[in-house]
Amino acid sequence: MDELGAALVRAVRLGVADESVSAGASHGLVSTSWYDFALGYLEMRWPQVAAKTRNETNDALCAITQAMLRNVRGRPNDELLRQALRDWAFIVPRPEPRVAPADVRLALRWVERASRPLVDLMDPVVMRA
């Protein structure tokens, strides 16, 4: 997890640098959610890592994603949230959303709405959590 955490921090910092150079501000980071970033990160890393690392990455992204969710009304229970992330969101190739059970689709839509913007990771309070 330490290696994954370091890789994520590097990726976020690189994103901050890229955004500040290209946009003059962190507008892209404000509009990019943690969840969208995590999905993109997973797709980039998946082909490069072994099966055991994929499983560890999935677990880590599930845990970090749950920490990066705001208190938004309609939160699914923790078991459903973890199942939706682990079995439907953080795998490559990702299954078609329409084949997922209705409760999983609703849970993942909630995650999309509740996910903090990526720029929140630059806040030490958020990062420590």
Can you tell me the distance from the alpha carbon of 90 to that of 22, in angstroms, rounded to the nearest whole number? Answer: 29
For Cα atoms 74, 80, 81, give the angle at the middle one, nearest 5 degrees: 65
pTM, rounded to two decimals:
0.76
Can you tell me the distance from the alpha carbon of 45 to that of 57, in angstroms, rounded to the nearest whole number? Answer: 9
pLDDT tens sequence across 66-118 = 999 999 999 999 999 999 999 999 999 988 888 999 999 999 999 999 999 98
CA 45 to chain CA centroid, Å, is 13
In this structure, what DSSP letter does residue 91 have?
A: S
Can you tell me the distance from the alpha carbon of 45 to that of 99, in angstroms, rounded to the nearest whole number? Answer: 25
pLDDT tens sequence across 41-57 = 999 999 999 999 999 99
**What pLDDT score was predicted for residue 97?**
80
Residue 37 has pLDDT above 60, yes or no: yes
Tell whether omega for the bond before 93 is within 30 degrees of 0, i.e. cis.
Answer: yes
